[in-house]
Amino acid sequence: MLLKLHHIHSLKSSSVKITGSKSETNRLLMLQALFSGFDIQNKSNSDDGAVMQKALVSNDEVVDIHHAGTAMRFLTAYFTVQAGRETLLTGSARMQERPIRILVDALRSMGAVISYEKIEGFPPIRIKGKKLTKNTVTLKANISSQYISALMLIGPSLEHGLTITLEGKITSMPYINMTLALLHQIGVEASFEGQEITIKPLKKEVSVAAVIVESDWSSVSYFYSIVALLQKHRSRIQIHISSYKKDSLQGDACLQDLYTQLGVQTTFHDHELRLSLMPEFQLPESIKIDLANAPDIAQTIAVTCLGLGVGCKLTGLHTLKIKETDRLKALQNEISKLGGAIMVTNDTLTLEPQKGPLTKDISIATYHDHRMAMAFAPLALCTSLYIEDAGVVSKSYPDFWNDLKTLGFEQEIIG
């Protein structure tokens, strides 16, 4: 679907409800499959959540998770401990280009039987489930937190639990802490001290009847961008978004602090998030942010800065090259088309302050990446543009385009 976003100059105050966090939902779905006895409320309605849920109840030998990267990592660990079951875990063409070796090597060191069907180090993989008896594993600390979380989630199901030793500087710490907190919620004894994560076996019933998933902070990032870009029109609307909490488990809750640098004020009313512009705020010429703990919001921040004419230096982005697409290269391509001056390395993005207007009617390629579509959409406050494959947003936020309509974004389906 090609979607045209018309250049708009005003929006209206509105309320939006975002469904549960994809990250929390997928972790809880896996724990629910391993330890029945609790309900999950406010689950994500994303494609990724649906794929994960379907895979966990499937009895088929071949399990295809399409583009769902989190599902690939978590299910690799899950099927490893399903004794007596053989599973061929596969995905889309892009998924077969995303590395899985680090997790496979870790599981093999614990006794898992996993083989590669095509290219060494990449999906599809064949898993022969068995009882794992080794309860220690060592990993480099700067890898994707999903590898670490996948091991943490199966830890309570192992007879002797699991101790994970991390070597080097730890990145994506909030996602490890999220997994730890969710384990605690269902009654697992677990700790994270220094470089060591210790998970005790869960040998009794789970301790809760239900777990409520907080709404997704990654999804709310696009509304932070919208409010920030309203400075171009001196607009003073307020957007109310539910359901959130101050003591969030999600790393992307750092949006509250990061967007103060771009003039957005966050307040809470019960579980409702309220976004508005700071009065008399002066935009900086440039900002510098380390996103090692929240790389998924890099696209949103880069595009916000482009629209505001603010330069930025974003660091800690080493995991973006192995996402749905090489997100750094994708940002470089699309921002350049709009007239932005951008440079990327393996783990950084530098955007020069934008002096002139953005090129209008540019068609933004999304590379099968939901976040590319949603990150560029707020630029309709600056220029008219087209979003290619606009339906890709269903991967994490199926209601995105409808929610933008409630704010006043003018959309036209071209094809």
Q: Is the pLDDT of residue 72 over 90?
A: yes
Mean pLDDT across 117-134: 96
Helices 22-34 & 69-80 angle (0-180, nearest 10): 20
Give the Cα-Cα-Cα angle 261, 265, 267 (nearest 5 degrees): 140
Same domain for 183 and 232? no
- Let me know whether 11 and 29 are in one domain: no
Per-residue pLDDT tens digits for 78-106: 999 999 999 999 999 999 999 999 999 99
DSSP 20: B
Same domain, 79 and 176: yes
The mean pLDDT of 255-276, rounded to a whole number, is: 95
Q: Any idea what the CATH number is for the domain that residue 142 is in?
A: 3.65.10.10
Residue 144 confidence class, pLDDT cut points 50, 70, 90: confident
Last residue of a domain, one of 155, 185, 212: 212
Helix (H) or strand (E) holding 283: none
The range of the structural domain enclosing residue 399 comes to 3-19+214-413
Give the pLDDT score at 289.
Answer: 98
pLDDT of 45-63, one tens digit each? 999 999 999 999 999 999 9
How confident is the model at residue 245, as a pLDDT? 86
Q: Which helix (H) or strand (E) holds 43?
A: none
At 308 the pLDDT is: 97
Q: Between 52 and 36, where is the model more confident?
A: 52
- My answer on whether 181 and 328 are in the same domain is no
In the chain, how many H helices and how many E strands?
12, 22
Identify whether residues 57 and 161 lie together within a single domain.
yes
pTM across the whole model? 0.89
- What percentage of the chain carries pLDDT values higher than 90? 87
For residue 325, pLDDT over 80 is answered with yes
Please indicate, yes or no, whether residues 361 and 395 belong to a single structural domain of this protein: yes
Residues 195 and 65 in one domain: yes
| Average pLDDT of the residues in 222-240 | 91
Residue 324 has pLDDT above 90, yes or no: no
| 257 and 31 Cβ atoms separated by less than 8 Å | no
Please give the average per-residue pLDDT across 14-30, as a whole number.
95
195-208 pLDDT, tens digit per residue, is 999 999 998 789 89
Domain boundary among 212, 241, 275: 212
pLDDT of residue 70: 93
Count structural domains, the chain: 2
CA gap 358, 384 in Å, rounded: 9
pLDDT band for position 331 (cuts 50, 70, 90):
very high
Do 230 and 185 share a structural domain? no
> Which member of 47, 216, 296, 369 is catalytic?
296
* pLDDT tens readout for residues 350-400: 999 998 999 999 999 999 999 999 999 999 999 999 999 999 999 999 999
* The predicted structure's pLDDT at residue 232: 81
Task: State the Cα–Cα distance between residues 378 and 232, nearest whole angstrom.
Answer: 12
Looking at the predicted structure, is the pLDDT value of residue 259 above 90? yes
Q: What CA–CA distances, in Å, run from 207 to 155, 202, 247, 318? A: 17, 10, 21, 38
Is a pLDDT exceeding 80 seen at residue 338?
yes
* Distance from C-alpha of 270 to C-alpha of 246, rounded to nearest angstrom: 10
Q: Kindly state the helix (H) or strand (E) to which residue 254 belongs, with its residue range.
A: none
pLDDT of residue 362: 98
Last residue of a domain, one of 212, 234, 268: 212
Q: With 0-12 CB in 10 A as exposed, 13-18 as middle and 19+ as buried, what is 257?
A: exposed
When comparing pLDDT for 171 and 135, which is higher?
135
Task: State the pLDDT at residue 236.
Answer: 78
Residue type, 388: E
- What are 174's two structure tokens? 């909030």
User: What pLDDT, in 10s, does the model give residues 301-323?
Assistant: 999 999 999 999 999 998 888 77
What pLDDT does residue 135 have?
A: 95
40 shares its domain with 165: yes
pLDDT at 319: 87
Which residues is 163 bridged to in the sheet? 136, 198
144 in the same domain as 225: no
Full strand arrangement of the beta sheet holding 62-64: 62-64, 86-90, 125-128, 113-116
The per-residue pLDDT of the chain, averaged, comes to: 94
Is the pLDDT score of 188 beyond 80?
yes
Same domain, 78 and 176: yes
235 compared with 23, residue with greater pLDDT:
23
Angle at alpha carbon of residue 155, lines to 154 and 160, rounded to 5° = 135
pLDDT for position 169: 86
- Let me know whether 218 and 100 are in one domain: no
Give the Cβ contact number of residue 100 at 10 Å.
24
Q: Is 296 a catalytic residue?
A: yes
Find out whether 312 and 350 touch, Cβ atoms under 8 Å. Answer: yes
Q: Which string of b and e fits 304-342 if b means at least 16 CB within 10 Å?
A: bbbbbbbbbebbbbbbbeebbbbbbebbbbbbeebbbeb
